[in-house]
Amino acid sequence: MAKFEYAPAPESRAIVDIKSSYGLFIDGEFADPAGGGAFKSVNPATEEVLADIAEAAEADVDRAVAAARKAYTQTWSRLSGRDRGKYLFRIARLVQERSRELAVLESIDNGKPIRESRDVDIPLVAAHFFYYAGWADKLEYAGLSGASSGSPRPFGVAAQVIPWNFPLLMLAWKIAPALATGNTVVLKPAETTSLTALLFAEICQQAELPPGVVNIITGAGETGRLLVEHPDVDKVAFTGSTEVGKAIARSVAGTTKKATLELGGKAANIIFDDAPVDQAIEGIVNGIFFNQGHVCCAGSRLLVQESVYDDVLTSLKRRLGTLRVGDPLDKNTDVGAINSAEQLARIRELSDVGEAEGAERWSSPCDLPDRGFWFAPTVFTSVTQAHRIAREEIFGPVLSVLTFRTPAEAVEKANNTPYGLSAGVWTDKGSRILWMSQQLRAGVVWANTFNRFDPTSPFGGYKESGYGREGGRHGLAAYLRTEDPA
Amino acid sequence: MTERLAVKKTYKLYIGGKFPRSESGRSYPVADAQGEFLANAAWASRKDARDAVAAARKAFPGWSGATAYNRGQVLYRVAEVMEGRRAQFVDEVAAGEGLSRSKAERAVDESIDRWVWYAGWSDKIAQVVGSSNPVAGPYFDFSVPEPTGVVAVLAPQSSSLLGLVSVVAPVLVGGNTAVVTSSYERPLPAITLSEVLATSDVPGGVVNILTGRVGDTAPSLAAHMDVNAIDLAGAAHDHGNATQLELAAAENLKRVIRAPEAEPDWAAQPGLNRITSFLETKTVWHPVGT
């Protein structure tokens, strides 16, 4: 099937005003970092330098944590739940009002298609703030305090470190429940995607959020480590790699800090022979090529029942041939840019390993732009469970295909991983869906759908995909002390 | 008439529903609170700990797959069988903890009642902590609790029965299987509990009990890659050791209940934390349509 010829339909950049340099957002004000360090943020689709971003050093982390502590003791913990909620409602409304600006900026800084930042990321950000805004004055109904105690109490200062794949959405997942429950936060965005977090800081100012309740400090891994290990932090929330998650689990050992971790995945997307094929193909594509595969819960291992293997592969390749890879700001684009040169190198390396280990590589025939970081949608067949591409998280648009004969074999292969974040099941048989959902050791099971998110729906992993849940009533537990007499 | 010669019991480990000696061949003398010899107990080794983990893993599919009603019945049965051995438990708790008879009786009664309390949670916890999630779209979306897996439990050192039951029952009620290290100086109630478990419909391997030095087995359990969670209750008073165990547990991101600074009052009404700490929330989505 040939691609339809579409004229380019680029979203205008005029709505965003990117400054040449950004400071740190501490105690309600933008300030220069103590050491004066900075790094550059790059548009991954063009390699154009977007801005200089302040690099927070130890003294800055100290200042940010001190500001959050002061705001916690003097302001935020004294505020009623109703007023906390009203600030969050304000923020939600401002996100909606400035949604176009946020979406364009997200696509420029991250490389994801505008269709996705406009239709998925930013609407979910607003929805998250709306959802948790409503919880702020209802915490005693959440069933999280013991039978004898009253309203559950917040931890105090939360250190939050987020990844680059859904920059503003991950910020919302962290900040909305933390503030609703009465904590104050110091958040560090990923170093390649700081811009929407800094725009969010402006939104906090616009909402007249009391200074110090939200502090945003930019920097790389070292800044994150300093923040997480800061002695005056009570709670650590991290989304990112399992490797860093383990380091954080070690760093909080022996302390009273509570950690929640949302880490890597290697999800199986399981296609049974009675699955509605056209829907399943869309689900496979959405599962691994959504957001360039930069998704911790991506369906990166396709398990296809043997009897339909040929049909599924043929349809899948045909569909992949129609995906438009290119300018993230073009409204027709399906697959955008890889977020950074480092990530592109990692995807290339693991794909080369896949070939070297004997898997067969097929890439969608598409023209990639000359500048920027790009990787064509790629499918590996003849993959075995021992292959690194079937075991390691690639975090890119690369799908590994394996086969199975029986439901039990599908379950065994799906669960044969140290991860346990998500899984997909495609079948027309209701009882099989429910049986599979029980058997799969994963925190989220999408049946006849994939990569759906909602603020009311708890999300998080089993095993080495981390612990704690984000979203829903369960997401409150990550930010509240639960009374525990014994 | 000569006095009858007593039949002395050999105290062994409880692994996979059987009562093996330690593979190390070691045992250690157990004394009462006054220092008088009571018995020799098996001194578990690292290998025993690994065997216990293998047994717990093997038992996991059956126990986690049992109906909540069935698990509740089995745990209630533990209370019933304990009640029949009440006098023996009172003797052991009184001797080991140096309690008066009446205090020992209260501890034993509370231990039996604690099984009853937890037994009742088996088919209620999912309704209390699960949810139906009103997502903004045409999907049916629900969240259910599932057991974390194999849980290592360092039972309290002081409260040899009530503390033990208070940390083991909540692990089991959610469908996990357990490897338990008992109090080192006061292991006899744990050994008797293993005999209760063996005769009360708890499938072999669901609970495995190791006596001996916690320092010998706990590091292996904390570092074991097939253990999913660990309760450090037994490391109270020993912050340095608890930290080392938490560090080891990070290697496969075990769920950890940290050691309290001092042993809590186990007679207090428990909350849900010990159940929910060893449950995972699973969320399932399905489209709604015609």
Tens digits of residue pLDDT in A324-358:
999 999 999 999 999 999 999 999 999 999 999 99
What is the pairing mode between strands B279-287 and B139-147?
antiparallel
With contacts defined as CB-CB under 8 Å, which chain A residues touch B117? none
User: pLDDT tens, B90-120?
Assistant: 999 999 999 999 999 999 999 999 999 999 9
Q: Which domains does chain B have, with CATH numbers?
A: 27-287 (3.40.605.10)
- Cα–Cα distance for residue pair A392/A31, rounded to 1 Å: 40
Q: What is the mean pLDDT of residues B31-50?
A: 97
Does B286 sit within 8 Å of A433, measured CB to CB? yes
Question: Percent of chain B scored above 90 by pLDDT?
Answer: 97
The answer on pLDDT for B253 being more than 90 is: yes
Residues in chain A: 486
- Cα–Cα distance for residue pair A155/A161, rounded to 1 Å: 17
Position A483 scores a pLDDT of 65
Does B135 sit within 8 Å of A452, measured CB to CB? yes
List the structure tokens of A472: 């829903």
- Of the residues A239, A243, A282, A467, the best mutation for testing chain B's interface (the one with the most B CB atoms within 10 Å of its CB) is A467
Q: Which CA distances in Å does B261 have to B163, B214, B236, B239?
A: 15, 17, 5, 7
| Closest to A72 in 3D by CA, of A89, A84, A88 | A84
DSSP code at position B138:
S
The answer on pLDDT for A150 being more than 90 is: no
Position A486 scores a pLDDT of 45
Alpha carbon B20 to chain centroid, angstroms: 18
Q: Which domains does chain A have, with CATH numbers?
A: 21-263+464-481 (3.40.605.10), 268-455 (3.40.309.10)
Tell me how crowded residue B210 is: count the other CB atoms within 10 A of its CB. 31
Q: What is the mean pLDDT of residues A175-198?
A: 98
Position A3 scores a pLDDT of 66
Q: Which residue of A has its CA nearest to B166?
A: A486
Position A485 scores a pLDDT of 45
Asked if B135 and B189 count as a contact pair (C-beta separation under 8 A), the reply is no
User: pLDDT tens, B178-215?
Assistant: 999 999 999 999 999 999 999 999 999 999 999 999 99
Position A168 scores a pLDDT of 98
Catalytic residues of A: 262, 296
Position A158 scores a pLDDT of 98
Position B1 scores a pLDDT of 66
Average model confidence (pLDDT) across chain B: 97
Does B264 sit within 8 Å of A458, measured CB to CB? no
Q: What is the mean pLDDT of residues A58-62?
A: 98
- Cα–Cα distance for residue pair B101/B95, rounded to 1 Å: 9
Position B4 scores a pLDDT of 95
Does A457 sit within 8 Å of B285, measured CB to CB? yes
Q: What is the mean pLDDT of residues A39-57?
A: 97
From the list B247, B281, B285, which residue is nearest A452 (CB)? Answer: B285
Average model confidence (pLDDT) across chain A: 96
Per-position DSSP letters for A221-289, written without gaps between them: HHHHHHHHT-TT--EEEEES-HHHHHHHHHHTTTSS-EEEEE-----EEEE-TTS-HHHHHHHHHHHHH
Question: Percent of chain B scored above 70 by pLDDT?
Answer: 100
**A348 membership: H or E segment, kind and range:** helix A341-356
Residue A33 distance to chain B (closest CA, Å): 33
Q: What is the mean pLDDT of residues A297-318?
A: 97
Q: Which residue of B has its CA nearest to A472?
A: B133
Main-chain phi, psi angles of A249, to 5 degrees: -60, -40
Q: What is the mean pLDDT of residues A321-326?
A: 95
Residue B17 distance to chain A (closest CA, Å): 25
Number of A/B CB contacts below 8 angstroms equals: 128
Q: Which CA distances in Å does B95 have to A419, B38, B76, B102, B186?
A: 47, 9, 27, 12, 9
Per-position DSSP letters for A459-481, written without gaps between them: B--SGGGEE--BSHHHHHHTTEE
The answer on pLDDT for A152 being more than 90 is: no
Q: Which CA distances in Å does A479 have to A176, B105, B216, B232?
A: 11, 40, 36, 22
Main-chain phi, psi angles of A468, to 5 degrees: 95, 160
Q: Is B239 on the interface with A (CB under 8 A)?
A: yes
**Which of A1-10, A422-431, B231-240 shows the lowest per-residue confidence on average (mean pLDDT)?**
A1-10
- Cα–Cα distance for residue pair B59/B205, rounded to 1 Å: 5
Position A482 scores a pLDDT of 79
Does A148 sit within 8 Å of B282, measured CB to CB? no
Give the pLDDT band (50/70/90) at residue A149: low
The answer on pLDDT for A1 being more than 60 is: no
**A426 membership: H or E segment, kind and range:** strand A422-426
Cα atoms in the 13 Å half-sphere on the side-chain side of A363: 17
With contacts defined as CB-CB under 8 Å, which chain B residues touch A128? none
